[in-house]
Amino acid sequence: MADAVIQVRSVSKDFLLPHLRHSTLKSRFIHLFRKRRVMEVQHTLRDVDFDIARGEFFGVIGRNGSGKSTLLKILAGIYPPTAGHVSVDGRLVPFIELGVGFNPELTGRENVYLNGALLGFSQREVDEMYEDIVSFAELDGFMDQKLKNYSSGMQVRIAFSVATRAKAEILLIDEVLAVGDTAFQRKCFDHFRTLKKAGVTIIFVTHDMDLVRKFCDRVILLEQTRLVAEGDADAVAHEYDMLFAAHS
């Protein structure tokens, strides 16, 4: 691909999982002294290849356990691939979850600074954008309360507000919009559209085919650890729907 910001070449990922199931107390006791724990290899991704072009709104879909989240974490540099190679060109910011590092015992304000730091903003930089963050979240007057007293919707709003500030060239989003009311979700997608216009590449993992059809330029479908379809949103979303049709 001419202007690929992300290249994924034959990436596989295996996890070694310790086998800890013991049916009886006796076997548990015996295995306590066994030197080697039995390890089970779990293949999560097998030989996945694709490119993402600059400025694309790129969808990743698949059923639960198909390897979507693992793929995202490999792109984010959180997991190393077992085999294969990933190259990323540009500043990538992952939102595997909104509000990473949020602490319920700290106030809203303190959490904004903490979350901002994790996104790479110094205290002074957060000072400058603080007012905007609070007004975007529509949470004026709540910021000195502890986060544990916020509703989950409020937590998502404040987290998303901070996230919108991230200076990303590539944004990874893993179903973070599951919470929040309709109005706020619309606000989020308006924000994504603005980013896209500014040339930001967005990689979006979801189960919601309406969102895929509405926003994605190109989509890949993962099924049982493999990439099984790649193409425009309508075609691949249709394939996804067919997966369920075949099983019912």
- Residue numbers at the binding site for another protein (CB under 8 A): 15, 73, 76-80, 94, 96-97, 100-101, 103, 105-106, 110, 113-114, 117-118, 120-123
Nearer to another protein, 80 or 199 (CB): 80
What is the three-class DSSP state of 244? helix
Nearer to another protein, 106 or 243 (CB): 106
- Among 12, 11, 62, which Cα is nearest to 223's? 62
Nearer to another protein, 143 or 228 (CB): 143
Contact 196, 188 (CB under 8 A): no
Sequential DSSP letters for 41-75: EEEEEEEEEEEEETT-EEEEEE-TTSSHHHHHHHH
Nearer to another protein, 33 or 244 (CB): 33
Q: At what angle do helices 123-137 and 152-163 cross, to 10 degrees?
A: 130
Query: What letter does residue 216 receive in the DSSP assignment?
Result: -
Q: Provide, rounded to whole angstroms, the least separation between the CB of residue 141 and another protein.
A: 22
Nearer to another protein, 103 or 145 (CB): 103
Written as six digits, the tokens of 66 are: 């198909």
Q: Provide, rounded to whole angstroms, the least separation between the CB of residue 64 and another protein.
A: 18
Distance CA 55, CA 7 (A): 14
Nearer to another protein, 175 or 236 (CB): 175
Q: Provide, rounded to whole angstroms, the least separation between the CB of residue 118 and another protein.
A: 6
Q: Provide, rounded to whole angstroms, the least separation between the CB of residue 202 and another protein.
A: 18
Q: Provide, rounded to whole angstroms, the least separation between the CB of residue 120 and another protein.
A: 5
Please write down the long-range contacts of 148-155, taking CB distance under 8 Å and 24 or more positions apart: 148/104, 148/105, 150/108, 152/179, 153/179, 153/180, 153/181, 153/184, 155/99, 155/102
Q: Provide, rounded to whole angstroms, the least separation between the CB of residue 203 and another protein.
A: 15
